[in-house]
Structure 1
Amino acid sequence: MNNEYIRVVNAKENNLKSISVDIPLKKFVVFAGKSGSGKSTLAMNVIYNGYFNKSLNYDIKIKPCALVQRVSVLDSSTLLFEYMQIIGFDCKKIKISNYIDFYKQNKLSKFSTEELEEIIKLLELDLIDLDKELKAISLGQFQKIRLFKMLINITDEQLIILDEPAIGLNYVEAEKLAAACNIITKAGFSLIVIEHSIPMINNCDHVVEFGPGAGCFGGQVVFNGSIDGFKDSKSVLAEMIWKDTIKTSSNEEKLKKFLVIESVNEYRFSGENISLAIGKFTCIAGKTGTGKTACLDILYRSCDKSSGAGERRKGLAEIKGKNEIRRPYIIDQSPIGNNSSSIPATYINVMDTIRNIFYEKQTCANKLTKSDFSFNADGKCKVCNGLGYSKDLVGGEPIFIKCDVCKGLRYNSDALKVKIKDYSIGEILSKTCDELLEINLESNIISRKLGFLKTVELSYLTLGQPSNSLSGGEAQRIKIAKELSKKLGDRCVYILDTPSRGLHLSNMQSVINVLKMIVNKNNTVVIAENNPYFIRTCDWLVYLTKDDRENMSVLYQGKPQDAPKDVKMELGI
């Protein structure tokens, strides 16, 4: 290994195609590319695991630490200073910024006092109370806090790996996060960031782009060089960033119907009126902690007519225009399965169909039962108990290691002997949606549902991937695909939180088109989103802000093209 590089040779993990790559040390390096193109595999499975697991035969010589995605804040009454492991310091009614004074005397981190002070300001954590409960903190704030916690607790690690730290941040917040990343590298650390955010890419030192596609169509390094070289490259991603191909909506139609939630006093709102366009695509934007997700919760509870809805609406003001809405659907980023054996095939209701196809196509005299084609029953691999993997923890987050016996296929040898078009049931579940459409299992139900997964840019997904290994964005898009596979009703409101999560720039228009298709069926779509491309294409924008005491308010409501210049600057539109 050259002293100036992390050198990876012949990496074949997951979909990586025997790649060799040199990654510069003490630089802010972005791993870019579509979801499923190999970014996380190289960062976590090869570089991170390669240091701790020498049997992988990767010569990784600097010790890494990693911060992987979280879908939600810990629902806990744990206080912030307890979570951050701050000891020997009275944290009652004290801001995070005041902790620096204590730090000056104790020198508890590898960073200088000045560096930590600047990072705290850039992350906008300085005014957060250390005795605040975690459940009262927004997801965006929590992600920043997790990063700061990592930094103050670093010991002998020299490489920091971050998985999409800019998710949910607005344009200016992402620029500040990029500036914080540059402070980290100037302090002597090496930094690898898996990221889709334009400000993060634009302000890094070095880009490694994976592709050209995702899943089996990815796994290659299509660019590896400085940010200046990337700008001059012919990469589709580079052209989208610097040619700015998605323009702000110029819809001049006068919007006439609105849901108006009056005198909102929930959370930290103080008598705000929030207007959402009926039969249109509305985007709620704002910095972390300004109440975007809170608005979605208020909207859902205000429109909900299911059993017990009256109790859940207690304390909410009546919503004007509610008679125009038949029912609300909330499509969140929570996991699609509650147990470790859950997979997308089960969630979208094709697993029984796949199992029946294998059962019915048997030709041998001693047929297996349908239960033999279930990895939760008689067909399971006895070593991994049908999971296909064992689980380890990386920084408190799950990492999945393939079973040595079934090779991740979940099934025992008897079930794997049955083949359709030369593939076992385990191999079918390991194929991407694109590959399955090409194989063609001759089932209209399966083909139709695979088509909807492809529509929401999940063509790289395998139906047998553990559901608890999916990102929040992937889980949300699977839920969208499931809704699309049903007969869409009308006069409903579809509520989504950060649908851009995990999306490559080239995939965003497809998801935006799906949301607009739902609107065109006489429905309303409301999203909480800071991504500039989603904001530019919406019909109605609600921009939230907060004061120094974290009281929330509406700064702007209207069409995105009519927003004030300062709002447009904050949002990057």
Structure 2
Amino acid sequence: MEVAGPAFSFNLPFGQCPDCAGVGVVLAGDEGLVVPDLELSVVEGAVAPWRERSAAGCREAAVAVVSGWGVRPEAPWRSLPPGLREVLLRGREVAVPGRSEVFTGVLPWLAERQRAAAGGSFPGQVFLRPVPCSSCGGGRLRAEQRAVRVGGRGITEVSALPVTGCREFFAGLELAERERVLVEQAVEEILERLSRLVEVGLGYLTLDRPARTLSTGEAQRVRLAGQVGTRLFGLLYVLDEPTAGLHPQDVEELVGTLRALRDRGNSVVVVVEHDARVIEAADWVVELGPAAGEHGGRLLFSGPVEALRSSEESVTGGYLAGRWGRGLPERRRASEPGRELVVRGAVEHNLGGVDVAFPLGCVVAVSGVSGAGKSTLVDQILYRVIDRALGGDAPPPGAHERVEGVELVDRVIRVDQSPIGRSARSTPATYTGVLDAVRTLFARTERARRCGFTPGRFSFNSPGGRCEECSGEGVVRVEMHFLPDVFLPCAECGGSRYDAETLSVTYRGRTIAEVLAMTVEEAAEFFREDPPAVRGPLRVLCEVGLGYLRLGQAGTTLSGGEAQRVKLAAELHRRAGRHTVYVLDEPTTGLHARDVERLVGVLHRLVDRGHTAVVVSHSMDVVRAADWVIDLGPGGGRDGGRVVAVGTPEEVASGRGHTARHLRRALGKDGVPGEIGVR
């Protein structure tokens, strides 16, 4: 049988497995999702998909089956005989009072609805979990393609190898003379491309790894490896935050890749970069500032990095030279005995049966090289378990035995860098609650009372006082058909969001639109004598370094770091009370050293209020300022997934591994001054 090269592509119909369409996984019913509460009875809705009104017939049939087994329908699911539970889940021919018929279990019922949806979504989809395709075993290809062997291995077996193992396989491939003539050039090209991936620190990735599961740093290095292998010259490369999500060890490898591009005769322009190692490795540095927003926009420095350190105007130079930045915390917090979250037997992805404790009432940093398993442990297991235990709707957690200590937590909040809203309606003023208090002040003015205006009149999110031409957004959308839509200021309200009557009301000489146009700093000064409900959030926003934002600035225009600090500011303004676990994944992405310093201060303030902060971070500035460090590794992918060290930053720095080496430098333990941006 002769098989053409394109037939080995799972993206083409004649190569992909027909049962999973080349995806490698199919959706199948999951007993844990179908029966989430074992204490409920069938009558009370233990079988979650049959709680909906349209499935009333299925629920009644299930009750009849339970009764036919001589079991009370009110009995909790946990107490049902195993055979009965199997029938309810998977169905079979059963005897019901007066007749014998086939009972369709809930899992076949869900499968039938999935087939009827023909690839589209359907209401019961939330009860399905992706599992490897039984036909191809997750290999994505047809049986004919999987049967072809090279060097004793099929293409799916080779794709499942890590990059380093795949390179070893092709380097040691023994071919006959005729085969060597046909494929020698292809093998050389394969080896070169695999070597490029190893050079940028991605030797642990498997070739069949889905792109959506790659971290930001991994995806960017994959693209860089492709560019290095082109052997082109005379090109201009523009990169934006290429170190996002990278451990210091990975940054060193990235710098080597950038230098290789430069040495080949290319120009490498890093548009935005805050990492000290990349800045120090640059041939030329251009710095803008001195601050953000309207306080920035000036050229502070342009020249070699040696001159940057001695520049008095340069903010970055001050940090690099050690003139700025505060020292370490005066003390490390210690959790009370028994007050900790303990993850047992974590085996999701590359985690190798990890048992690890997260002390409560501390800033806990989780470190390790890219691909070590940090996000899997914290986000996919710890956060999801706590959220679901507290009644949240987080996705099912990754594979693990159990998580102990969840009863000690009252809330869990994942503070990421996603936008604070999906439209111009979400602003710093609305997210932090400032606008609610400001609307109350406007409603108390004499003119507002005379006109009968309530606080709702001054909301641009509801009819009454907003401009109806733009529905309170201040802009109108102009459809460009084959081009992206264009947003223009509303001609009716001039972008103010409100109608003329609402704008006729002023508070101390300012309209509501003029207040929203203020920066946070201006508003804090303007409302300095007003109630704490107004002053408090404004003060906190200034303290986290966001005084330059405008109160009415659309949330979609904020950077990831700005959005994250707005969320943290909103939390700081809440009343201290219920114990909250804050989960942050790479919070320093896109932040300058000055902003990192403020972020670390915010985290410690949250913990001082009786909460816990669990931070996944590669930034040694964050790690060295934490109370407790959990270091995973020692490498990435199959070489990771193990606990390398736990303890205070000083204890972790005294050990071995990539994090220990860089943490010693950050703490100044190896004769090198400590790094920047600490508490």
| TM-score, normalised via structure 2 length | 0.60
Q: 1:310 to 1:120 in 2, by over 3 A?
A: closer
1:449 equivalent in structure 2: 537
Aligned to 2:280: 202
- In structure 2, the CA distance between the partners of 1:180 and 1:419, relative to structure 1 (3 Å rule), is farther
Secondary structure at 2:345's aligned position in 1? strand
Q: Shift of the alpha carbon at 1:372? A: 7.1
Q: Cα offset for 1:296? A: 1.7
- 2:619 aligned residue: 531
Q: Is the Cα–Cα contact under 8 Å of residues 333 and 627 in structure 2 kept in the other structure?
A: no
Instruction: Give per-residue Cα distances to partners, 1:67-105, cap 9 Å, x unaligned.
Output: xxxxxxxxx99x9x9xxxxxxxx996547798999xx98
Distance 1:512 1:496, change over 3 A: same
Distance (whole Å) between structure 2 residues aligned to residue 374 and residue 265 of structure 1 = 49
Q: Does 1:218 align with 2:296?
A: yes
More displaced, 489-498 or 138-147? 138-147
2:624 corresponds to 1:518: no
Q: Does 1:180 align with 2:268?
A: no
- Structure 1 463/288 Cα, relative in aligned 2: closer, same or farther at 3 Å? farther
Q: Report the more deviating stretch, 222-231 or 303-312.
A: 303-312
1:505 equivalent to 2:583? Answer no
Aligned counterpart for 2:348 among listed residues 242, 250, 266: 266
Flag the 1:165–1:431 CA change in 2: closer, same or farther, 3 A: farther
2:217 is paired with a residue whose SS is helix
Q: How does 1:66-465 map to 2 (within 5 A)?
A: 93-94=158-159, 120-145=197-222, 159-186=236-263, 187-234=265-312, 235-243=314-322, 245-247=325-327, 251=331, 257=337, 258-297=340-379, 298-304=381-387, 305-307=389-391, 312=396, 316-358=400-442, 361=445, 363=447, 371=457, 374=460, 377=463, 379-380=466-467, 382=469, 386=473, 388=475, 403=489, 405=491, 409-410=496-497, 420=507, 423-440=510-527, 442-465=530-553
Residue aligned with 2:351, SS:
coil
**Partner amino acid, structure 2, of 1:240:** Y
Displacement of 1:449 in angstroms is 0.8
Which 5+ residue runs of structure 1 have no aligned equivalent? 1-75, 82-89, 107-111
Q: For 2:466, what is the secondary structure of its paired residue?
A: coil
Q: CA deviation at 1:143?
A: 4.1
Tell me, in whole angstroms, the C-alpha distance in 1 between the residues paired with 2:298 and 2:446: 38
CA distance in 2, matches of 1:526, 1:338: 26
Counterpart in the other structure of 1:19: none
* Equivalent in 553, 560, 563 of residue 649 of structure 2: 560
Deviates more, 1:311-320 or 1:536-545: 311-320
Q: Secondary structure at the match of 2:244?
A: coil
For each residue in 1:269-309, what CA deviation from the matched residue of structure 2 results, as whole angstroms up to 9, or x when unmatched? Answer: 12111122232221001122222222222222343432268
Q: CA deviation at 1:490?
A: 4.9
Query: Which structure's relative contact order is higher, taking Cα pairs within 8 Å and 6+ residues apart?
Result: 1
Aligned partner of 2:47 in structure 1 is none
Amino acid at match of 1:514: V
Q: Is the 8 A contact 1:96 1:126 kept in 2?
A: yes
User: Taking structure 1 as reference, are residues 313 and 183 closer, same or farther at Cα in structure 2, changes over 3 Å only?
Assistant: closer
Gaps of 5+ in 2: 1-129, 132-137, 141-153, 172-183, 667-679
Could you give the per-residue CA deviations for residues 473-519 of structure 1, whole angstroms, max 9, x where no partner exists?
22222221111111122543222222323332123333222222222
Q: 1:383 to 1:149 in 2, by over 3 A?
A: farther
Q: Are the aligned partners of 1:91 and 1:130 in contact in 2 as well (CA < 8 Å)?
A: no
The one-letter code matched in structure 2 to 1:199 is: R
Contact 1:456-1:514 within 8 A present in 2 as well: yes
| Aligned Cα root-mean-square deviation (Å) | 4.5
Q: CA deviation at 1:325?
A: 3.5
1:223–1:250 Cα change, 3 Å: same
CA contact (8 A) 2:631 2:643 kept: yes
How many angstroms apart in 1 are the aligned matches of 2:506 and 2:291?
Answer: 28
The residue identity in structure 2 corresponding to 1:438 is: E
Q: Does structure 1 conserve the Cα–Cα contact (< 8 Å) formed by 2:365 and 2:615?
A: yes
Aligned equivalents of 1:213, 1:318: Cα separation in 2 = 46
Q: How far does residue 363 in structure 1 lie from its aligned partner after superposition? A: 4.8
Task: Find the residue that maps to 1:267 and give its secondary structure.
Answer: coil
Aligned partner of residue 201 in structure 2, secondary structure: coil
Judged with a 3 Å threshold, the aligned counterparts in structure 2 of structure 1 residues 553 and 157 are, in CA distance, closer, same or farther, namely same
Query: Normalising by the residue count of structure 1, what TM-score does the alignment of the two structures yield?
Result: 0.69
Displacement of 1:424 after TM fit?
A: 4.5
Deviation of the 1:434 alpha carbon:
1.0
Percent identical? 27
The separation in 2 between residues aligned to 1:156 and 1:236, in whole angstroms, is 34
Other structure's SS at 1:228 match: helix
Q: Distance in 1 between matches of 2:569 and 2:433?
A: 12
Give the secondary-structure state (helix, strand or coil) at the position aligned to 1:453: helix
Residues 238-261 of structure 1, C-alpha deviations (whole Å, 9 max, x = no match): 122232845556857776634322
Q: Distance in 2 between matches of 1:124 and 1:459?
A: 39
Secondary structure of the corresponding residue to residue 329 of structure 1: strand
Aligned residues between the structures: 478
Residue 661 of structure 2: aligned partner: 569
Q: Report Cα offsets for 1:108-164 as digits up to 9, x if no partner.
A: xxxx99998786445323553443223332343234346667888999995443332
Alpha carbons 1:247, 1:536 under 8 Å: kept: no
CA contact (8 A) 2:346 2:377 kept: no
Instruction: Verify the 8 A CA contact 1:246 1:533 in the aligned structure 2.
Output: no
Q: Give the 3 Å change call, closer, same or farther, for CA 562–384 of structure 1 in structure 2.
A: same
Partner of 1:9: none
**In the aligned structure 2, how far is the partner of 1:144 from the partner of 1:262?**
33
Question: 1:188, CA displacement in angstroms?
Answer: 2.0
Q: Distance in 2 between matches of 1:150 and 1:384?
A: 47
- Partners of 1:385 and 1:513 in 2: how far apart? 36
Q: 1:185/1:429 Cα in 2 relative to 1: closer, same or farther (>3 Å)?
A: farther
State the AA in 2 paired with 1:568.
A
Change (3 A) 1:459 1:562: same
- Cα deviation, residue 528, structure 1: 0.7
> Which of the pair has more CA radius of gyration?
2
Q: Structure 2 CA distance, aligned partners of 1:325 and 1:544? A: 24
Q: Determine helix, strand or coil for the equivalent of 1:259.
A: strand
C-alpha distance in structure 2 between counterparts of 1:371 and 1:154, whole Å: 63
- Offset at 1:367? 9.0
SS of equivalent to 2:638? coil
**What is the SS of the residue equivalent to 1:177?**
helix
Distance in 2 between the 1:506 and 1:310 partners?
33
Specify whether residues 142 and 547 from structure 1 end up closer, same or farther in structure 2 by C-alpha distance, changes over 3 A only.
closer
Aligned with 1:193: secondary structure? strand
- Decide whether the 8 Å contact of 1:384 with 1:390 is kept in 2: no
Secondary structure class of the residue paired with 2:568: helix
1:268/1:129 Cα in 2 relative to 1: closer, same or farther (>3 Å)?
closer
Q: 1:197 to 1:417 in 2, by over 3 A?
A: farther
> Does the C-alpha gap of structure 1 residues 421 and 189 become closer, same or farther in structure 2, counting only changes over 3 Å?
farther
Structure 2: distance between partners of 1:323 and 1:386 = 43
**Contact kept? 1:389, 1:408, Cα under 8 Å:** no
- Tell me if the contact between 1:382 and 1:412 (Cα under 8 Å) persists in the aligned partners: no
